Amino acid sequence: MRIAALALLPLLAVPAAADLAQDAFQWAADIIDGNSAPAPKSDDVHIMDGWKWTDCGLPTDAITIENIELSPDPPKPGKNLTVTVHGTANEKIKEGAYADVTVKLGLIKLIQKRFDVCEEARNANASIQCPIEKGDYTVVQEVALPKEIPQDGRANISAKFVVNVRGYTADDDDMVCLDLAVDFTNPDKFW
């Protein structure tokens, strides 16, 4: 399977997290333990209809996420989801950079996987390839969301997905920290 991103490994890692999240959505359709992370900056929690994202990174991170857009917004089961991530590489990203991605459904951890960011970019034939020079970038990824994702909150089925991305440089320094949450049961009244 080609790994590609809803969870969004920012910039190069976006394609990896999207397919991983897609797999988790599919798996959960057939059937938040939170990771320790620095407290988010108060102006870095972005809430939209049915979803939110948080830049949980530090000012010294190698990548800064400026904005994330989903279309359609809110996401809809059975439809294609286009994820657009705008960010800045604050330093050169070299071979060996990696990201740990966790996808949860409520309190249940569905998937946890480590991705080689540069390898994923090559496999996805991404427009951005390693080494990544300093600068501003936009990454767009399309994901097919399974129609079986639970949508009806009255059925007592949770469909609140949480994706945690923790990225590191080849030197094991913090590269990016991102949390994304999507609620398919009641997109108009998120959280």
Q: What would the two tokens of residue 144 be?
A: 């097919």
**The pLDDT value given to residue 171:** 97
Amino acid at 152: D
**What is the distance between the alpha carbons of residues 31 and 115, in angstroms, rounded to a whole number?**
26
**How distant is the alpha carbon of residue 128 from its chain centre?**
17
**The pLDDT value given to residue 166:** 97
**Structural domain includes residue 2:** no
Q: The CATH number of the domain where 110 resides is what?
A: 2.70.220.10
**What is the distance between the alpha carbons of residues 99 and 93, in angstroms, rounded to a whole number?**
12
**Structural domain includes residue 49:** no
Average pLDDT, 10 consecutive residues per value, the chain (191 residues)? 33 47 53 38 53 92 94 85 92 97 89 94 86 94 80 60 95 96 66 43
What's the total number of domains in the chain?
1
**The pLDDT value given to residue 49:** 62
